Amino acid sequence: MKEKSKIKKEPLIKLSRREDIDRKHSWTFRALAIVAALIVDGIIIMVIVHMNPFDIYGTMFAGAFGTSRKVWITLKELSLLLLISIALTPAYKMKFWNLGGEGQVLMGAWATALCMLYLGNTLPGPLLLLVMFLAAVVVGAIWAMIPAVFKAKWGTNETLFTLMMNYVAIQLVAYFIIKWEVPKGSGHVGIINQATQSGWLPYIGTNSYPLIVGLVVLVTIGMHVYLKYSKHGYEISVVGESQRTATYVGISVDKVIIRTLILSGAICGFAGWLMVSGSDHTITTTIAGGMGFTGIMVSWLAQFNVIVMILCSLLIVFMGQGASEIATSFGLNEAFGDILTGIIIFFIIGVEFFINYKVHTRKSSGKEEA
Amino acid sequence: MSTPESKEVAVSLKNITKTFGSVTANNNISMDIYKGEILSLLGENGSGKTTLMNMLAGIYAPDGGQIFVDGEEAVIRSPQDAFDYQIGMIHQHFKLVDVFSAAENIILGMPGKQKLDKKAILKDIRETVDRYGFEIDLNKKVYEMSVSEKQTVEIIKVLYRGAQILILDEPTAVLTPQETEKLFLVLRAMKDHGRTIIIITHKLQEVLELSDRVAVLRKGEYVGVVNTREATESSLTEMMVGKKVELNIDRTDPVDVKDLVRVEHLTCLNKYGRKALDDVSFTIRGGEILGIAGIAGAGQKELLEAIAGLQKAEAGSSIMYRAIDNNDEIQLIGKDVNDIKNLGISLAFVPEDRLGMGLVGNMGMVGNMLLRSYNEGRGIFTREKAPRELAEEIRDKLEVSTPNVYTPVRKLSGGNVQKVLVGREISLAPRVLMTAYAVRGLDINTSYTIYNILSDEKKKGVGVVYVGEDLDVLIELCDRILVLCEGKVSGLVDARTASKEELGLLMTKYSGDHIAKIHVEKLLDDDAPAGDEEA
């Protein structure tokens, strides 16, 4: 027995937690990760499609920022993704797993479209916009509040509940699309109020994108201040860290959960309003385009820092715009762009492991002691 | 039979080093353990005692250094390896299967035939049990057992596997004085049969009573080893702390004692509907320290939480708070934390679970000061200045060692965390100050700092409630001691005349069959706070 155990060796790789890594180092690591990801992407481009990676990267850049129109599209997409990320952030900071962003946005969009269709010709422009806005915000808030109330009162699992609410929203909107479709049998609602443009966000230049960007900037600043300096923001942090501590100092956990989800859902509804009234002028079941889920990633990647979220959203939107550009100009499948994006995100998330842990191999740990 | 005098080395450690990240838990430790001795491994919390022994037991592997068993180098990489070298460890947190009987737990994982011959096995185990004088019913299920019975099962388990060297990690921490006596008898019997015993502890009196030699660790370093015969409490403390420490608690006689809180017929149910408190009546008086003793889970937590407005009470319960200014009595039952605060009643509470309840680990001192005051002032924004000044004041006054007041408190040592919590609660200028296990896991100096703070509050006329587990401290620090046993008051004694044995008997006065219920509940309880484990 003793002989056997003598053969055993030190494990090849050992991990230890890094206690205090300073900001400069961690950001250097992250920058290196992006460079490494671009190199791996480059190799894949050369090996699989036999092209020059720099051509591809250049085209991607042109796809996102090539013309002023493209810059505005990128900025609009960035704003919408950022807005949804910001909407989800207070819930996640409170450790409430809101997977229902997609449905909350969709319900906001639905409420907006409803108002445009039924009130479009009866109310004056500014009043109509206000009614649409309120409807979208209220419906979005209700959609988020339902799982929150169930969680607070009966302890239901919010992950499943919010996720299922997405499908309810999709089915509901699908029903109304059939009801509203133009022409009958097409399965599409088409551009709403194309002639009168009633209920459309006002144009600045050739579209409403600058207005969307401006509004999102306001919400971003507001959320940053709310989370960092307000009493509510403090309560959210405490509930997220420890519900027992919150109870101990007299914070009503149920109240904070419901209140925060109302806020979260309201901002998602707001995003739905911007999409229908400011950008698409129509409604589809896929109008949120997965941003309700992508926003979760943005929020966590930024570790709930509202300012860092701008960078994360930019990266993801840039890759998306670039990917469709290389698909059209090089005749590559759009999935190829997704592969490149996937690799970059893999590296960005993976580097967090190396920021938190130090890896020793058998040799190097020996050296350290010498 | 070998004696310590024969100096035959059983285990030898040479230059053992172990680090966790940037923390060095054990630095270059070399020591010998003799055959047939009882060795105490003494040191403060965090001095690396458990880590060192875990390396003998195969839980951790050393980063550097060698272990020799019977003169041969041993590589111990798993608990199985340790058993191959006849080393067994009884951990602080028992590792037993609750629905199995004692005997089933003892043979679990042992090699044997396909078919269990229960009779033969029982006879076999019975032999071990009788040889050392254990008192245990081998057919009893673990969930029906008291803590001390479970510990007995763990010890028999290790002996039955043929361990010659037994390591016990703080075995008396959870026992009453009577149970401790029984354990010591068994340990001495094992020594007489030639077994080597290492007992990890920080209780000096037990060290002096039981062991042959004492090895001392301090901050991961090996300080030295002495024969117990030549040691005294103060010489050992000096080795442990590194300097002379005055170990006296300055207890003044209570002056101007006033009734502050009258608790009458307090009955509370826990979340499984069992009575956690059963018709409890007592009075908290301003100007004295009321100790609360009892074995773990006797209702201490529910009692403090009921007074703090965190625990619902049953009909018929009454908690009357007397406002000193106008002598009005206010009923606290049915009021929550905010109601109590809004009535202007200053109640401070240092809960047992410091980072899980009293503080927010990821926030700095400033953020944690805000916990009690964030809602003050008008407007929707929090104010940063007052809590920052308070944090700085507490840091300077209580000598909290922290890089700055914004460093997350979870990164601070246990003692500093407790200073932050106690400092904040005292800053409320409380009328009543309740503390639960206020010195658990703290080093000696910090413990005495806390005792002094509590004594100072008492002199100011505050009604101090001290829930404690160390009976010696309860007797030295408090004025009166309330003993809880299974949710009922089993005694209220004068601390100046009480003895440890008396308290121990009161703590187990109503031992009944509902231990089983408590343990079943523990199985169901997924949010039970984790114990303070040593790094």
| DSSP output for A95-132 | T-----HHHHHHHHHHHHHHHHHHHTTTS-HHHHHHHH
Q: Do A18 and B356 touch (CB under 8 A)?
A: no
In a domain, residue B355? The reply is no
Nearest to B344 by CA among B362, B332, B358: B332
- Residue A1 has a pLDDT of 40
Amino acid letter, B167: I
pLDDT score at B114 = 72
Q: Are residues B67 and B208 in the same domain?
A: yes
In this prediction, residue B345 carries a pLDDT of 87
pLDDT of B523 strictly over 60: no
| B338 reaches A (C-beta below 8 A) | yes
Out of B63, B336, B360, the one facing A250 most closely (by C-beta) is: B336
Tell me if A19 and B362 make a contact (CB, 8 A cut-off).
no
Question: In 10 A of CB A26, how many CB atoms?
Answer: 16
Please tell me the distance from the alpha carbon of residue B180 to that of residue B187, in angstroms, as a whole number. 10
Within a domain: B388: yes
Mean pLDDT of B62-80: 90
CA distance B246 to chain A (A): 35
φ, ψ dihedrals at B111, nearest 5°: -70, 150
Question: What is the average per-residue pLDDT within B172-191?
Answer: 89
- pLDDT above 90 coverage of chain A, percent: 58
Residues B294 and B400 in one domain: no
Q: Which two tokens stand for residue B428?
A: 């409320």
Binary contact (B371, A241; C-beta < 8 A): no
pLDDT band at A10 (very low <50, low <70, confident <90, very high): low
What stretch of H or E contains A80?
A: helix A68-93
Model confidence band, residue A368 (pLDDT cutoffs 50, 70, 90): very low
Contact A231 B84 (CB under 8 A): no
Chain A nearest-CA distance from B361, in A, is 8
Tell me which of B160-169, B192-201, B440-449 is least confident. B440-449
DSSP B144: G
At a CB cut-off of 8 Å and minimum separation 6, what does B448 contact?
B245, B246, B247, B249
At B513, which CATH number? 3.40.50.300
Whether residues B336 and B449 fall in one domain: yes
Task: Please tell me the distance from the alpha carbon of residue B460 to that of residue B453, in angstroms, as a whole number.
Answer: 11
- Which of B60, B75, B353 is the best residue to mutate to test the A interface, defined by the most A CB atoms within 10 Å of its own CB? B75
Evaluate if residue B311 carries a pLDDT over 60. Answer: yes
Query: Is the CB of A248 less than 8 angstroms away from the CB of B351?
Result: yes
Evaluate whether residue B377 is within a structural domain: yes
Whether residue B391 sits in one domain with residue B295: no
Give the span between the Cα atoms of B47 and B397, in whole angstroms: 26
Q: Give me the mean pLDDT over the A281-292 stretch.
A: 92
Please indicate, yes or no, whether residues B382 and B338 belong to a single structural domain of this protein. Answer: no
Same domain? B77 vs B124: yes
List residues of A whose CB lies inside 8 A of any B CB. 1-2, 5-6, 8, 10, 16-20, 229-235, 237-238, 241-242, 244-245, 247-250, 358, 365, 369
What pLDDT is recorded for position B522? 56
CA distance A210 to chain B (A): 31
Query: Whole-angstrom Cα distance, residue A60 to residue A320?
Result: 9
pLDDT at B168: 94
User: What's the average model confidence in pLDDT over B380-400?
Assistant: 92
Distance of CA B43 to the CA centre of its chain: 15
Pick from B206, B241, B276: which residue ends a domain? B241
Strand partners, B31: B13
Which chain B residue has the Cα nearest residue A5? B75
Contact A273, A136 (CB under 8 A): yes
The tokens describing B6, both together, are 């024969």
Mean pLDDT to the nearest integer, B194-208: 90
Which pLDDT score is estimated for A261? 97
User: How many Cβ atoms sit within 10 Å of the Cβ of residue B404?
Assistant: 11
- Which residues pair with residue B39 across a beta bridge? B198, B213
pLDDT confidence of residue A366:
41
Strands of the B275-286 sheet, one edge to the other: B275-286, B258-269, B318-322, B329-331
Task: Give pLDDT, residue A11.
Answer: 62
Structure-block tokens of residue B168: 């016990």
Dmax (CA) of chain A: 91
CA distance A74 to A65: 7
Q: pTM of the entire structure?
A: 0.82
Q: Does position B421 have pLDDT exceeding 60, yes or no?
A: yes
Does the structure show a pLDDT above 60 at A266? Answer: yes
pLDDT of A286 > 50? The answer is yes
Among the residue ranges A212-221, A240-249, B442-451, B455-464, the one predicted with the least confidence is: B442-451
A78: which 2 tokens? 């960035």
pLDDT at B328: 82
| Burial state string for B318-328 with b = 16 or more CB within 10 A and e = fewer than 16 | ebbbbeeeeee
B218/B337 same-domain check: no
Q: How far is CA B108 from the centre of its chain?
A: 29
Contact A235, A256 (CB under 8 A): yes
B19 to chain A, any CB pair closer than 8 A? The answer is yes
Residues B137-153 have a mean pLDDT of: 89
Residue of B nearest to A240 (CA): B360
Residue A267 has pLDDT above 60, yes or no: yes
Q: What is the least distance, in Å, from the CA of B423 to any CA of chain A?
A: 16
* Chain B residue whose CA is closest to A244: B357
Predicted local distance difference test score (pLDDT) of residue B4: 46
Q: How many CA atoms lie within 13 A of B185 on its CB side?
A: 12
Chains A and B form CB pairs within 8 A to the count of 88
B315 CB-contact burial (10 Å; exposed 0-12 / middle 13-18 / buried 19+): exposed
Please tell me which of B302-306, B331-335, B524-528 the model is most confident about, judged by mean pLDDT. Answer: B302-306
Where are the alpha helices (H) located in B221-268, listed in sequence order?
A: 233-241
Domain edges within chain A: 82-297
CA torsion angle A153 A156 A158 A162 (round to 10): -90
Distance CA B307, CA B312 (A): 10
Total domains in chain B come to: 3
Instruction: List the B432-436 sheet strands across, edge first.
Output: B347-350, B432-436, B463-467, B289-293, B480-485, B488-494
What is the model's pLDDT at position A182? 83
Out of A16, A17, A229, closest to residue B381 by CB? A229
Residue in this structure with the two tokens 């100011």, named with its chain if needed: B460
Range of the domain at B366: 361-418
Instruction: Please compute the mean of the pLDDT values over residues B406-411 and round it to a whole number.
Output: 90
Check whether residue B118 and residue B10 sit in a common domain: yes
Nearest to B244 by CA among B230, B232, B252, B229: B232
The 3-state DSSP composition of chain A as helix, strand, coil percent (nearest 5) reads 75, 5, 20
Confidence of residue A365 (pLDDT cuts 50, 70, 90): very low
* pLDDT confidence tier of residue B512, bands split at 50, 70 and 90: low
Check if the beta carbon of residue B501 is closer than 8 Å to that of residue B178.
Answer: yes
How far are the Cα atoms of A316, A345, B27, B261, B387 from residue A44, in angstroms, in the given order? 20, 15, 48, 75, 55
Residues of A in contact with B64 (CB under 8 A): 369
Task: Write the pLDDT tens digit of every residue in B85-125.
Answer: 999 999 988 889 989 999 999 988 787 777 778 888 889 89
d(CA B40, CA B239): 13
B306 located within any domain: yes
Q: Which amino acid is at B172?
A: T
Taking alpha carbons only, the member of B301, B420, B400 closest to residue B360 is B420
Q: Are residues B222 and B110 in the same domain?
A: yes
Nearest-10 crossing angle of helices A101-119, A253-273: 50
Q: Which of B269, B242, B293 is nearest to B477 (CA)?
A: B293
Say which of B64, B84, B380 has its CB closest to residue A230.
Answer: B380
For residue B1, pLDDT over 50 is answered with no
pLDDT at B531 over 60: no
The predicted structure's pLDDT at residue B524:
54
Mean pLDDT for the stretch of residues A120-126:
83
CA distance B416 to chain A (A): 18
Q: Which residues contact A159 (CB under 8 A, 6 or more apart)?
A: A97, A99
Shortest distance between the Cα of B64 and any Cα of chain A, in A, equals: 8
Least confident of B66-80, B298-312, B314-328: B314-328
Q: State how far the Cα of B318 lies from the Cα of B465, in Å rounded to an integer.
A: 18
Reported as a single tens digit per residue, the pLDDT across A214-241 is 999 999 999 999 999 999 999 999 999 9
pLDDT in tens, A317-351: 998 888 888 888 888 877 888 888 889 889 988 88
DSSP state letter for B71:
T
pLDDT digits (tens, 9 = 90+) for A124-144: 888 999 999 999 999 999 999
The length of chain B in residues reads: 535
The interface residues of chain B toward chain A in range 71-100, judged by CB-CB distance below 8 A, are 72-77, 81, 84-85
* Residue of higher predicted confidence among B296 and B67: B67
Query: Which tops the pLDDT comparison, B1 or A177?
Result: A177
Q: Give the dihedral sign, CA B4/B7/B11/B14.
A: positive
Residues 6+ apart with CB under 8 A from B335: B309, B343
Q: What is the pLDDT of residues A149-161, one digit of tens each?
A: 999 999 999 999 9
Angstrom distance (rounded) from CA B175 to CA B502? 14
Is residue B403 helix, strand or coil?
coil
CA-wise closest residue to B67 among B77, B6, A370: B77
Measure the N-to-C terminal CA separation of chain B; round to a whole number of Å: 36
Name the residue of chain A whose CA is nearest to B377's CA.
Answer: A231
Q: Read off the pLDDT of each residue in B188-202 and give the average, rounded to a whole number.
A: 92
Mean pLDDT of chain A: 88
- A365 chain-B contacts, CB cut-off 8 A: 63
Q: In this model, does residue B190 exceed pLDDT 80?
A: yes
- CB–CB contact A5 B77 (8 Å): yes
Examine the pLDDT at A265 and tell me if it is beyond 50. Answer: yes
- Residues B280 and B485 sit within 8 Å (Cβ to Cβ): no
The residue in chain A having the minimum alpha-carbon distance to the alpha carbon of residue B367 is: A234
